[in-house]
Structure 1
Amino acid sequence: MDEQVDILDKNGEPTGESCLKSEAHRKGLLHPTVHIWFYTPEGRVLIQQRGKNKATHPLLWDVSVAGHVAAGEKIVTAASREVEEEIGLTISEIDLESLGTFKAVHKISEDFIDAELHHIYLCQLSVPLNQLTIQESEVEDLALVPLFKFAEETWGLASMGKYVPHGPTYYKTIIKAIKSRT
């Protein structure tokens, strides 16, 4: 879906301008997104396999839930909305624990530069995996993996072709934050 997104300056501050997401990607304009990482008290991480028709990284494993923040939308509202859309789970904004932001710029092609400021949240998964409902246009599959296996595959970058390449610093931040809560 090609929604309006707010444009941010190089410091992540709103410029007061917005445009279609496709234009932001075409021009490499920085815009806000949300990443929500679900984990269990037993130390498992919910990962999502991206849909086969996604423009970037189809069928790779990624963050539990992710999406763009619509123009004028509050960040936590976008996070709650994306969780409900992608995995069918209703959560409250107070369920989200902010880990801060992470700026990522990836040149996908000459006319597609993904420049995003990820607002990262943790959320404890309070329902069994089989109670989640995937949004088939966005998500191919969901899996719960032990944190140690996830760390081995992302932190050490042992499975580079399996996961979206967010980079070791990003993954280390997520792994350490989940580990300290389980």
Structure 2
Amino acid sequence: MEKWDLYTLDRVKTNRVITRGDDIPKNLYHLVVHVCIFNAKNQMLIQQRQSFKEGWSNLWDVTVGGSAMIGENSRQAATREVAEELGLKINLENIPPVITKYFSEGFDDIYILEKEIDISNLILQYEEVQAVKWVSFEEILDMIRLKKFIPYDESFIQFLFHLHQVNSLYQM
């Protein structure tokens, strides 16, 4: 049974905890993380959600995503999610999220990494992931149009690829 810390809008942890599936009280929020792993060919590692997974079953998604558990900070949650879903150890010690997306019930810290991975060596978490593959930006857009990928806005996917390539929001 997953338990989540609740935060104020300013990301101050409260002393309140909820169980996954419970309604999040008004003016309180929970922490979600996503990790997007790219290779040197500017391909993103994506995962296909399990057919029996609640919400977006059988659809493809970015590399990894999930909620922070009670007591975890953003980096710890991202590291745990990658290890659980892909059997891969990553080090986010000095890597901040590149962007935080606020939504109605929380905030989503998004990490971008570049790592060469032989996907045949990954150990996929059966409860969450049925397959993984490397794909280009154009392939993701095609998958979204064909309703095979979670229906993110095209500009969001483009932004993730852009952030991977430039590693900055500033032109220098």
1:82 aligns with 2:81: yes
Q: What TM-score, normalized by structure 2, do the two folds share?
A: 0.84
Letter of the aligned partner of 1:171 in structure 2? I
Shift of 1:126: 2.6
> Percent of aligned pairs with the same residue?
25
AA partner of residue 111 (structure 2): Y
Picking from 130, 134, 154, the partner of 1:140 is 130
Hey, what does 2:16 align to over in structure 1? 17
Q: Does the CA contact (< 8 Å) of 2:48 and 2:58 recur in 1?
A: yes
Quick check: 138-147 or 91-100, which moved more?
A: 91-100
The yes-or-no answer on 1:103 pairing with 2:89 is: no
Kept after mapping to 2: 8 A contact 1:6/1:14? yes
Distance 1:131 1:47 in 2: 15
Q: Which residue of 1 aligns with 2:49?
A: 50
Distance 1:90 1:56 in 2: 26
Q: Which amino acid aligns with 1:177?
A: L
Partners in 1 of 2:155 and 2:70 — Cα distance?
28
CA distance in 2, matches of 1:129, 1:7: 35
Aligned residues: 167
Q: Say which SS state the counterpart of residue 149 (structure 1) adopts.
A: helix
**Counterparts of 2:71 and 2:63, CA distance in 1:** 24
Query: Residues 1-51 of structure 1: CA distance to partner in whole angstroms, max 9, x if unpaired?
Result: x31101233454433311101114698963111100000011111011111
Say whether residues 1:180 and 2:161 are aligned partners.
no
Q: 1:173 is matched by which residue type in structure 2? A: F
Secondary structure of the structure 1 residue equivalent to 2:145: coil
**In the alignment, is the contact (CA less than 8 A) between 1:38 and 1:45 conserved in 2?**
yes
Of 152, 156, 171, which aligns to 2:157?
Answer: 171
Shift of 1:132: 1.1
- CA shift in 2, pair 1:146/1:169, >3 Å: closer
Residue 144 of structure 1 and its aligned partner are, at CA, apart by 0.5
Could you say if the C-alpha distance between residues 27 and 53 of structure 1 is closer, same or farther in structure 2, counting changes exceeding 3 Å?
Answer: farther
Residue 129 in 1 paired to residue 122 in 2?
no
Where do 5+ consecutive residues of structure 1 fail to align?
106-114
Unaligned segments of structure 2, at least 5 residues: 168-172
Is residue 2:142 matched to residue 1:153?
Answer: yes
The structure carrying a bigger strand percent of its residues is 1
Q: Which residue number in structure 1 is paired with residue 170 of structure 2?
A: none
Q: Secondary structure at the match of 1:59?
A: coil
